[in-house]
Structure 1
Amino acid sequence: MNVSPLIKTVGGATFGACNAENQRLFSVIAGVSGEEALQHASLLLNCVNRLSYLGAMDDGHETMRWASHYLSEMAKAIIDDVTLGLQDVP
């Protein structure tokens, strides 16, 4: 993957909704290279893929489904943040 070194995370994406106000507990940190961030998102999505498959095969594994849900939310936040960084590239 050859992402431009100018593309960085901007720190605008959040995840981990909690409480009645739906506040976000976590956020992507600004300044990480886009390439490294996307590699991390790919690793998270690989885990999501495996967990969701295993969870679909066995009704007794709700924890796998919840884990895949939270990991996919993290990966989405990373991808959203890199996308915001793409908008900042001249």
Structure 2
Amino acid sequence: MTRPASPLLHTTGAATFGTCNAQNQRLFSVNPGISGVEAMEHASLLMNCVNTLSFLGAMDDGNEAMRWASHYLSEMAKAVIDDLTIGLQQAQAGDE
């Protein structure tokens, strides 16, 4: 039987984002210990920005900045969601 996600779920700090340099090192990471609910709210806000920017960027062929901004924001949102997924998997593994 599948259990609902625990309201005590927090970020783990395992997910990184912001690839840079020739070695493709990650420049940023999600901070550990953030409430899962708050982290998901933030990811949702980031994705709202991505949706707006990608729509506006699609309508304006001359504005690459919107497309790059939506790319970077989507990478941030993905890192938050990936980090919470890791925390959920760890919580589920501890319950078994």
TM superposition score normalised by structure 2: 0.89
Structure 2 residues without counterparts, runs of 5 or longer:
none
AA matched with 1:55 = G
2:41 paired residue among 39, 42, 55: 39
Matched residue, 2:11: 9
2:86 paired residue among 61, 75, 84: 84
TM-align CA RMSD:
1.2
2:26 paired residue among 24, 38, 60: 24
- The question of whether the paired residues in 2 share the 8 Å contact of 1:9 and 1:85 is answered with yes
Distance in 2 (alpha carbons) for counterparts of 1:59 and 1:5: 43
- The question of whether the paired residues in 2 share the 8 Å contact of 1:55 and 1:61 is answered with yes
1:87: Cα distance to partner? 1.2
Deviations 1:53-87 (A, max 9, x none): 00000111100000000000000000000000101
Matched residue, 1:64: 66
- The question of whether the paired residues in 2 share the 8 Å contact of 1:3 and 1:34 is answered with no
Structure 1 residues without counterparts, runs of 5 or longer:
none
TM superposition score normalised by structure 1: 0.94
Count the aligned residue pairs: 89
Q: Name the % identity.
A: 72
